[in-house]
Amino acid sequence: MKKTKLGEFEELVLLTVAALQQEAYGVEIKRELESRLQEKLSVGSIQSALKRMEDKGFLTSKFGEATAKRGGKRKRIYATTSYGRKVLEEMKDIRTQLWSAIPKLAFELKAIG
């Protein structure tokens, strides 16, 4: 785990990429995340996260088709690598384990208090 260094925002972006599959390119990722998080995101933050994760090897990318809407520029479609998926699963496991480790009572007490 210690080598992976997946930030919280990066994790969200990575999950979105995984969910969107063939549709995973900049604007779509942004749209999807914005609707789920109910907040505005900047193009810069998404792009920067994507590029960082590509460098770390969680993502690969290839050019997709160009549309008129994009002024003739091609999309870049992102896809998770198997390493990326592994890291995501690891994160999920860690979280699940942690959740299960919380005693029910403590949680309820907290809810009352």
Partner 1 sequence: MKPQTLQPPHWPLKFLRFFLKKEYLEEIEGDMEEFFYENTERFSVGKAKRIYTWEMIKLLRPNLIKNFEFVNKIIQYSMIKNYFKVSVRGLLKSPVNSFINIFGLAAAIGFCIFFYAFVVYTFKRDQFHENKDVVFLTTFTASREGALRQYGLSPRPLGELLKQDFPQVTKVCRVEDRNVIVKHGDNIFNERIRFVDPTFLDMFTFPLKWGVSTSLTDLNSVVISEPMAEKYFGDENPIGQSILVKFTSENGKEFKITGVAKKFPSSRSFDFHFLVNFDNLRTAQPGFDFHDWSAFHQATFIQVAQPSDITMVEVGMSKYKRLQNEAVEKDWAIASFQFEPLATTHIKTDEIREDVFREGTHSNLTSIKFLSGICTLMLLLACFNYINIAISTSVKRLKELGVRKTIGATRRLVIVQFLSENIVVTFFAMLFGILLGWLVVIPWFEGLWHFSMEFSLNDPRLWMYLPVIMLITAIASGIYPAIYISRFQTVTILKGSVRFGQKNPITKIFLGFQLVLACMFITSAIVFTMNGDYLANRSWGYSNRDVLYTAVADESAFQQLNDVMQRNPKVLSISGSAQHIGKTHQTTVLHFPDKDFEADRLAVSPSYFKTMGIELAEGREFKDFDGSDKNAVVVNETMVKNLSWSNPLGQQFRIDSITYEVVGVAKDFHSYSFFSLLKPAFFTVADKKDFKFIALKVNREHEQSAFEDLKKSWVTLYPEIPFNGGYQEDVWGNYYEQMGIHGHVWRVFATVAVILAMLGLYGLVAINVSGRVREFSIRKILGADYKNISNNIFKQYYGLVTVSLFVGGPLSFFFIKSVLDFVYDYHMPLTIWVVVIAASLLVAVVVITVATQIIKVFKSNPVEGLKVE
Residue ranges binding partner 1 (CB under 8 A): 25-27, 30, 42-45, 47-48, 51-52, 55, 63, 66-67, 69-71, 73-76
Strands 74-80 and 59-66, bridge-based pairing: antiparallel
> How many other CB atoms sit within 10 Å of the CB of residue 6?
19
Residue 6 contacts residue 89 (beta carbons within 8 Å): no
CA–centroid distance for 111 within its chain: 30
User: Nearer to partner 1 by C-beta: 62 or 86?
Assistant: 62
- In the complex, minimum distance from the CB of residue 98 to partner 1, in angstroms, rounded to a whole number: 31
The nearest distance, CB 30 to partner 1, in angstroms, is: 7
Min separation Cβ 55 and partner 1, Å: 8
